[in-house]
Homo-oligomer: A and B are copies of this chain.
Amino acid sequence: MRIGELADRTGVSVRSLRYYEAQGLLVSERTAGGQREYAERAVDRVILIQELFAAGLHSKKIAQLLPCMRDPDGGPNERATPELVVELTAERDRIDRMIADLATSRAVLDDVIATAAREL
């Protein structure tokens, strides 16, 4: 598929897809004319990238992480270096803290909302 269809199917802008490629997160074949051509599995990959972005990982770390993931099509995958494992563990801990903080913030909002609703 071409970039427009991938954008539609993932809900990610064309601009962002090109950015992902520039950052080494996404690969594409090129047509004779130079246009990007994506395999079907690009859809899942883009969604995964988005999730990792949402989790606060930077593109650089995602670029390190992606080749170490278990490939759904059984392709060869790189082994994670011990350094990367350490970094990813730190990320996981950071996400845990983030989830806890979000729960706190949610409670704050909930309190304001509940108080306001009681007054209405």
Contact = CB atoms under 8 A, between A and B. Distances in A.
Interface of A: 48, 51-52, 54-55, 57, 65, 68-70, 79-80, 82, 84-85, 88-89, 91-92, 95-96, 98-99, 101-106, 108-113, 115-117, 119-120
20 contacts: A51-B108, A52-B105, A55-B105, A55-B106, A69-B108, A70-B111, A80-B113, A80-B116, A84-B116, A85-B116, A88-B109, A89-B113, A92-B109, A95-B105, A95-B106, A95-B109, A98-B102, A99-B99, A99-B102, A102-B102
B116 A68 contact: yes
Most chain B beta-carbon neighbours within 10 Å: one of A95, A105, A116: A105
